[in-house]
Structure 1
């Protein structure tokens, strides 16, 4: 009978393996599941043996990836079978099919307990294994005392006791109250005297969890851990089965050293001496060999020993030995060893006494910067950054600049920012600093944050001796045929302010400076045009002798932009034209910018706030995160003393609204010379710092929350260009929200901004800041919600529920009910786009702070254009596709009236910002635009979308648009979103304007020209 039953399982497995395709396999699985369901439903007298046979098949089907939605009760019932074969199947299948919260598990608690307290060791092992894998809180409350008795029992075999230790570890993680620290201290010490290494290893895992929760009660375990390490280091009484490639129980060594890292220090001199002797033996006895498995084991022990050495702050001699050993490792061929060597050497930098020793390996570290593995390159960059000081700054910065040209795009932003920080922090003289920053902008303009060139302007403005040199260098870079737009900005600004100092140099007359700068104007964006207009006004102001020809040229430029659709450009042009006709008064109005007040650099402050953690902090944080929840909690280490600490993310504090004297004159000069005044809410300016450091990467630059509108693919001209985004992309209604706590900033504007970029602040109030960082790949998206508690008290009753539209599949990780003081919680959100739609998901978020209950409903920027990717097509590719999509519903055409007047360039920038690439030259009519994009969804997959916009030069308020794709729903949705972007809505229905006051626009983070106001 047994043979025939197992033969049935073997035949089923053979049938599955012989299937030619997935469809055949599914049909065979469905047939078998139907047969099993019938047996379980109809045959009331199914024996334990028959249940075992069918349950084995269910487990095999589950392992193939198919859902098994029935038969769970039959699997659980086998746990109570009297014979081992059936009981074994019951335990195994229950462990695989059910989780700790399944209701059926409650039915098995008594049976599992009977097996644990019984005399049959085999049954005990099965029961302990089940509880150790899927035991939950109910199991911990019912079974913990019995498991503890088994663990401490001297009559039980080691096989049972080591399973009991791991089972108790599971129960402790689910309910820490089951292990009383006071009562378990002596028991834990007793367990560490165990001679059997299996029981000892399992007990050490339990100890690591206990001391991570509360180390104070377990000081008596420290000498025992040291004795275990001594025993293993001397290879005393270590059975052969616990020796791995000649290394005595490496797992136990690692766990023992990890447990010791939870204790602040070891005061007893004898214990400390014995421990350092063991660590010395490990350091001396570890080397790189050819056997990979032995390397893995020995290096696991070694690097845990290094972490313990750093934690205990060992003597300088041992530290030097550690650095020398790591120096060998970063030179070997094995990439994993090089990575670990660089990472641990970076941690060693926290010990100031060994920095000089680490510098001896500088050449090898620089070589690692060119390693094929990007993770090694990143660690080498971190190490070079950390080891840099006055003595080697020049060499390291030059190496970073040289490496910048060939570095991965993923590293260039971090690389450029670190090079800028090092150049500022350790510059031997300011002219060298200017050289470095200009080289940086020249080589990696796209990856240089605006704060870097803002800082150069600060230095040059505050140091008169530096101004002629900086002007000369800026003039030299403008001679290049192709320079980055950021270089145009900084050069134009410096020459506008200080170009008159070069008047006697060849090629530096006002007219020559204007011509060389004006050559760049057709290729730059709106924000840069604003700076160039200011520069032209400054050139006029600084002219010693009037030049009518130059004056007329500059006036012509101002006249041209007087009718610009962009309010900022239009305002500058009108005001500069009027000011430039005031004659001698112009010099007073457009006077030189005053010096900046002395303050700590935001870049250096950022560097100080992102120093490498100690080994102890890293280990404790990591383990705490692993044992709590799926959401990552990062605690702010800054003291909560009632004074808001200086935020690491702003270059310069925005001036307060109450200013007098020089400060007011400086702001007036700002509004006239640079044309922009940064405007912030007084509550915003004095609020706590941004807690979303992780949101923008390790060294990103932030400022006050504003309304960025520029994407990396194009610039949306003016505030009005995105005023319709709220209607085009955010169709899900959000109820009126009445809370006692009012939000900081405009929620709708924050949403609009995030529709065009992938990271930023979604919501903020005095208690919490919610940020978003997203990554979009095809029809899949991964978004991380950053919940930052800004207060010194906890936020309680935290709840976050996603209300998804039908076209999106969303899965939000568990959000903890409490956010600790000044802590940040990261909650991943997985997104799948099922089909095209303009609806958006809504986040229903609530929390309690003190007596205030706050509830907000926020739109999630998982909008249509996030699932588009820019692509360019040639005429040979475009026209066959265009012709093949003939007529409705795949090709829709509509005459649109009431269009916002804009030039073709501005319209092209608008489309590009929404990932609809305008392809020049495809349409012979110069008044028409042709654009294309690729849309991704689960139903359409990668689908090409084409559109044509036909404009009327005589009437810019109307156009005809044609949209085509291979999916009718996609064509309609795309047509509607394009229409809503182009149509000028009535004033009564428009979203709040992004620049509320035309005379003093709000600073825009993505507008570097506007952010220059924040420098002052």
Structure 2
């Protein structure tokens, strides 16, 4: 309130440095007034903008809406550059929180940017850095504009395009200083302008010019510039306007792959080759990547294998070329070829008659190498088991020769691969009766029939019995050729996206439709390798291992991420491995698993306030909550784990029928778009009227990759959250305990321990909300607690006693409360925590 601006600034410095919710609540109305006051001097406005930004990050509701929105936006017109610079930082944070409300900032930001770009460094002398006018403010404005699509107003759009053209023109001017600070400032503005051009993706001329400018940086002596140029060109390659311009730099990028000393720059070169690939250059790029793969860093080999496999499948004009590429991949980098890659080549060969004979001949030749990778044996075993008859007419690949070649690899392979080879052998019995006795000798050998591996033993005994007792017709039926796999798209792209968030979304490329996702080949055996039995046989598919999930997305918000459950309630188009579909299109209990995972996640929140509530390959939902008396505030954080935006995003928090008169809820709106890799927050306020059973419902709906996704979750707001801990001595506790002796005031449960009976018991009780009372119970093994449940106009005192019996691994839990039914509600909530 001081009239001395120095005192006002010091006060705001203090508020901003502490930046707590209490500070936000106490001064949330005062700081905005200082910010837009006509009497405030520039330095006070500047500090007010930054102080308000700090409080907004702590408590978003601190920013008033309505008329204040326009007044804050118009700070972009302030004559003092320092005020504008501080205001842009505040406005960008507000835009990310509520983009529609602050849409009016676009025209003012373009106007201010235009004035900076068209001015000379003499005009803005106080804000010029090494001959570059206001570079920090320019970058902030360009970044702010990337939160919106290109302006609809032709005048504003034309002015923005002029600004971007001017920045590109200035990049071509000779440097005004040889100092590195000059080029750094100039290039910082240029790279942010290119980011805005790529974001808009609507001006062909600007996109091509940006591409040409980045092309000059590809051979720059500065490693960082080469890195940034390659990274930005990956995005330009996905635009129909600049894709061809990017392709002109193919030779330079290939050269960078071969000569760059920095592995991160080589990685970006691989990414760019992947992004610029189309039907016209696929063979060249795939061959260059294969050549590089032999000497590539181990850290990027697996990712490169996936990229080569995707490109080979997507742009294969001749599937014999595709087969050659995949077999080369296995030969060069077999250890880095995932199961999905060799599953996919089998799917394609089985489904395409024109390539089956070539594939059989090629794998037969590949298996003759002295050092043959096990993945090659898997592919060879499967393909020869199905199509070995197509090359059996040649004496060099006669049935006996094929069998001898495969069996020479048998003892060098792991048990799952040997199980696959046994299936190949039994297929040979049907295809080539002349070598039946040789195969029966192998099946009958002690190594197989008495193998310590149950899968090998079972296959050997069943296949042997089948070959001895089945008639020719039965044998031919059971061991007939595998039917074509259902037409599914490749799962490799989904795996690649999991491994690297940098990969551009090639669904945006102006080329053929990108492969999305699929399951592994039909008929995975219990050894988790493709079986050669037909659908008339005993082929079943085992569920895949659960896919790794990224639990780091909310780390900056939650701190403690323990307790998140995963669910397939909104599985993405790409399979996440949690509940794969069966060959017939069925589902292995996905719905039940989703319900179970959600219930498990919610139960963990009964004794804690923060953590991950839900996670799948698309979305991560985190909870951070705080309670005071009968009021609660829950922050729900929605994190987009994909590089694509989630559009039409909406949520609703509702109360089931039994809760409507016992709890009130008020939810603030949430942004309707979540950019790739971004995170938004929704605040929901609750007030307890009286105790209840159940939880509020959270519904989430959004579009991902053109597919509507819906989630229905339980929000972990339970009555115990509204308990205030209460201190008591031993005398007061037992006097109160005795008074609460009515039958309806007590709830008791005796139950078996589900978790270890260790020191964490006290922590779980404290997390439930009551005060843990030390030294009150005569038995030091017991735990006693006290607390008051606060509802609207009502307070319910509650006492708790937990008696562990470590020898029997049992508990007796007793809760007494001053209000009927409250004890039972609290007892039912707590019993699952031990």
Normalising by structure 2, we get a TM-score of 0.64
Q: 1:537 to 1:847 in 2, by over 3 A?
A: farther
> Are 2:147 and 1:224 equivalent residues in the alignment?
no
| Conservation of the 8 A alpha-carbon contact between 1:404 and 1:415 | yes
Which of 534, 541, 548 is equivalent to 1:669?
534
| Conservation of the 8 A alpha-carbon contact between 1:791 and 1:822 | no
Q: Secondary structure at the match of 1:545?
A: helix
| Conservation of the 8 A alpha-carbon contact between 1:441 and 1:484 | yes
Deviations 1:546-594 (A, max 9, x none): 575x35643444x531111222111100011112224634333322222
In the alignment, the residues of structure 2 paired with residue 292 and residue 769 of structure 1 have an alpha-carbon distance, to the nearest angstrom, of 56
In the alignment, the residues of structure 1 paired with residue 59 and residue 715 of structure 2 have an alpha-carbon distance, to the nearest angstrom, of 29
Pairs within 5 Å for 1:687-836: 688=569, 690=571, 702=577, 704=579, 765=596, 767=598, 788-789=614-615, 818=636, 820=638
| Conservation of the 8 A alpha-carbon contact between 1:768 and 1:787 | no
Which of 533, 546, 569 is equivalent to 2:456?
569
| Conservation of the 8 A alpha-carbon contact between 2:386 and 2:427 | yes
Q: 1:381 to 1:647 in 2, by over 3 A?
A: closer
Q: 1:335 to 1:158 in 2, by over 3 A?
A: same
- Which residue pairs with 2:34 in the alignment? 150
- Which residue pairs with 1:274 in the alignment? 159
Unaligned runs of 5+ in 1: 1-116, 618-636, 638-645, 656-665, 694-699, 707-740, 746-762, 771-784, 801-814, 828-845, 860-1016
Q: Secondary structure at the match of 1:318?
A: helix
Higher normalized contact order (CA 8 Å, seq sep 6+, divided by chain length): 1
| Conservation of the 8 A alpha-carbon contact between 2:572 and 2:617 | no
Q: 1:796 to 1:602 in 2, by over 3 A?
A: closer
Deviations 1:34-67 (A, max 9, x none): xxxxxxxxxxxxxxxxxxxxxxxxxxxxxxxxxx
Deviations 1:53-86 (A, max 9, x none): xxxxxxxxxxxxxxxxxxxxxxxxxxxxxxxxxx
- Which residue pairs with 1:578 in the alignment? 465
- Which residue pairs with 2:62 in the alignment? 178
In the alignment, the residues of structure 2 paired with residue 214 and residue 206 of structure 1 have an alpha-carbon distance, to the nearest angstrom, of 12
Query: 1:600 deviation in Å?
Result: 2.6
| Conservation of the 8 A alpha-carbon contact between 1:667 and 1:677 | no
In the alignment, the residues of structure 2 paired with residue 395 and residue 542 of structure 1 have an alpha-carbon distance, to the nearest angstrom, of 39
- Which residue pairs with 1:204 in the alignment? 88
In the alignment, the residues of structure 2 paired with residue 218 and residue 826 of structure 1 have an alpha-carbon distance, to the nearest angstrom, of 22
Which of 425, 430, 436 is equivalent to 2:314?
425
- Which residue pairs with 1:650 in the alignment? 519
- Which residue pairs with 2:801 in the alignment? none
Q: 1:393 to 1:816 in 2, by over 3 A?
A: farther
Query: 1:794 deviation in Å?
Result: 10
In the alignment, the residues of structure 2 paired with residue 367 and residue 229 of structure 1 have an alpha-carbon distance, to the nearest angstrom, of 38
| Conservation of the 8 A alpha-carbon contact between 1:460 and 1:466 | yes
Q: Secondary structure at the match of 1:669?
A: coil
In the alignment, the residues of structure 2 paired with residue 858 and residue 327 of structure 1 have an alpha-carbon distance, to the nearest angstrom, of 60
Which of 105, 110, 127 is equivalent to 1:242?
127
| Conservation of the 8 A alpha-carbon contact between 2:489 and 2:517 | no
In the alignment, the residues of structure 2 paired with residue 793 and residue 247 of structure 1 have an alpha-carbon distance, to the nearest angstrom, of 41
Deviations 1:89-128 (A, max 9, x none): xxxxxxxxxxxxxxxxxxxxxxxxxxxx213333332222
- Which residue pairs with 2:19 in the alignment? 135
- Which residue pairs with 1:258 in the alignment? 143
- Which residue pairs with 2:784 in the alignment? none
Deviations 1:458-512 (A, max 9, x none): 2222222322211111111111111111111111111122212222223312222
| Conservation of the 8 A alpha-carbon contact between 1:769 and 1:788 | no
In the alignment, the residues of structure 2 paired with residue 545 and residue 440 of structure 1 have an alpha-carbon distance, to the nearest angstrom, of 35
In the alignment, the residues of structure 2 paired with residue 667 and residue 471 of structure 1 have an alpha-carbon distance, to the nearest angstrom, of 15
In the alignment, the residues of structure 2 paired with residue 611 and residue 651 of structure 1 have an alpha-carbon distance, to the nearest angstrom, of 21
- Which residue pairs with 1:534 in the alignment? 423
> Are 2:269 and 1:394 equivalent residues in the alignment?
no
Q: Secondary structure at the match of 2:357?
A: helix
- Which residue pairs with 1:589 in the alignment? 478
Q: Secondary structure at the match of 2:463?
A: helix
Q: Secondary structure at the match of 1:493?
A: helix
- Which residue pairs with 1:678 in the alignment? 541
Q: Secondary structure at the match of 2:636?
A: coil
| Conservation of the 8 A alpha-carbon contact between 1:787 and 1:826 | no
Query: 1:611 deviation in Å?
Result: 11
> Are 2:9 and 1:121 equivalent residues in the alignment?
no
| Conservation of the 8 A alpha-carbon contact between 1:670 and 1:677 | no
Query: 1:820 deviation in Å?
Result: 4.6
| Conservation of the 8 A alpha-carbon contact between 1:789 and 1:795 | yes
> Are 2:442 and 1:554 equivalent residues in the alignment?
yes
| Conservation of the 8 A alpha-carbon contact between 1:797 and 1:818 | yes
How many correspondences in the alignment?
595
Q: Secondary structure at the match of 1:264?
A: coil
RMSD of aligned Cα (Å): 4.2
| Conservation of the 8 A alpha-carbon contact between 2:571 and 2:617 | no
Query: 1:857 deviation in Å?
Result: 8.3
Deviations 1:395-449 (A, max 9, x none): 1111111111111222111110111111011002011110001001111111111
Normalising by structure 1, we get a TM-score of 0.53
Which of 50, 71, 87 is equivalent to 1:187?
71
Query: 1:138 deviation in Å?
Result: 1.7
In the alignment, the residues of structure 2 paired with residue 798 and residue 647 of structure 1 have an alpha-carbon distance, to the nearest angstrom, of 34
Q: 1:572 to 1:652 in 2, by over 3 A?
A: closer
